[in-house]
Amino acid sequence: MKTRKLGDSDLVVSEIGFGAMGMSFDYGSVPDPSKMRKVLQEMVELGENFIDTAEVYGPYVNEELIADALVPYKKDLIIATKGGIKMVNGKQVVDGRSIELEKSVEGSLKRLKLEAIDLYYLHRVDPNVPIEEVAFLMQKLIKAGKIKHWGLSEANAKTIRKAHAIQPLTAVESEYSLWTREPEQELLPTLEELGIGFVPFSPLGKGFLTGKIDLSTKFSDGDGRNLLPRFQKEAMEANIKLVDLIKLVAKRKQATSAQISLAWLLAQKPWIVPIPGSTKIDRIRENISASEVVFSKSELEQLTAAADEIQIVGNRYTPELAKRAGL
């Protein structure tokens, strides 16, 4: 599989990464771990080596699943995990204090069965902890050999600049796709200026951009999409226009909607590495093949311009989740 370098760092990863969250968390009933182990192994055999997890996914069990499934491939993998969100009375709470992050790093090392974490993100910026404090801690952990690279998730440009000035960031994670374009305003120019890689999560709009979800779709109990504004009926009725556009382009390119959505992201910048997730190897194979879809300059401009004309309805987060992301 093709590879990409995250910004100016020396971290080289598969062009399309894998978001493992859904294997243990947030999409209704939790899949059978034994089946997920097999999917993970087949995925790595296909050439995908950049895997994204987090302490809070499960919580804890997602990291353990990855470690158990991928023991034979460990030396060939780039594992990214995150800390800074902990569970308190069954609810997620942002906590970026150094004492808690150090505990989280040690816990992740143990669960992932690693001597050092390839890429460690602050999962959410804690408004009560100066980002400089976090950056100095990450510098300390890098010097100690606990982590190799660090990054931020859902951070604004000002925070990124402050953190990067102390300990250079390798990557920033945030949502970015054909229906979430906000990063283009300030985030992407900042990352390009500073030489930081970008890792878009939910690059397929939590499944919406694949064309497999329509107005009749019913999500299972416990599926986080039930609460998201963009997945309410009125919003979906408006947003389906974007899905129709992607389907039209997919037909012309003899590709799938998922492949068009991912290929569009890959075409934006050479240091962008999307991390779609799935629990099915056929979908993962489909996503990996997106790197074979190539747009001409005019094709890319036309798709982008057409998407610009579609007004996306609904916020991507609930008010509570938006607050946690600093929005």
Task: Tokens for 56, please give them.
Answer: 């809070």
Taking phi over 0 as left and psi of -120 to 50 as alpha, with beta for the rest, 310 belongs to beta
What pLDDT does 323 receive? Answer: 86
- Partnered with residue 174 across adjacent β-strands are 200
What pLDDT does 250 receive? Answer: 98
Domain ranges of the chain: 3-210+268-293
Beta-strand relationship, 171-175 and 147-153:
parallel
> Which residue in the list 27, 57, 120, 317 is annotated as catalytic?
57
Is 119:113 a contact under the CB 8 Å cutoff? no
- Residue 76 phi, psi dihedral angles, 5° rounding: -100, 0
240 Cβ neighbours under 8 A, 6+ residues apart: 214, 215
By the 10 Å C-beta count (0-12 exposed, 13-18 middle, 19+ buried), 104 is classed as: buried
Identify whether 57 is a catalytic site residue: yes
Reading the chain (327 residues) residue by residue, the pLDDT tens digits are 999 999 999 999 999 999 999 999 877 788 999 999 999 999 999 999 999 999 999 999 999 999 999 999 989 999 999 999 999 988 899 999 999 999 999 999 999 999 999 999 999 999 999 999 999 999 999 999 999 999 999 999 999 999 999 999 999 999 999 999 999 999 999 999 999 999 999 999 999 999 999 989 999 988 999 999 999 999 999 999 999 999 999 999 999 999 999 999 999 999 999 999 999 999 999 999 999 999 999 999 999 999 999 999 999 999 988 888 877
What pLDDT does 211 receive? Answer: 95
Q: What is the distance between the alpha carbons of residues 90 and 94, in angstroms, rounded to a whole number?
A: 13
What pLDDT does 327 receive? Answer: 78
What pLDDT does 130 receive? Answer: 98
Residue reference for tokens 């037909």? 251
The domain made up of 3-210+268-293 has a fold known as TIM Barrel (3.20.20)
What pLDDT does 213 receive? Answer: 94
- Please state, in angstroms and as integers, the Cα–Cα distance from residue 38 to each residue in 46, 80, 233, 302, 318, following that order: 13, 20, 36, 40, 34
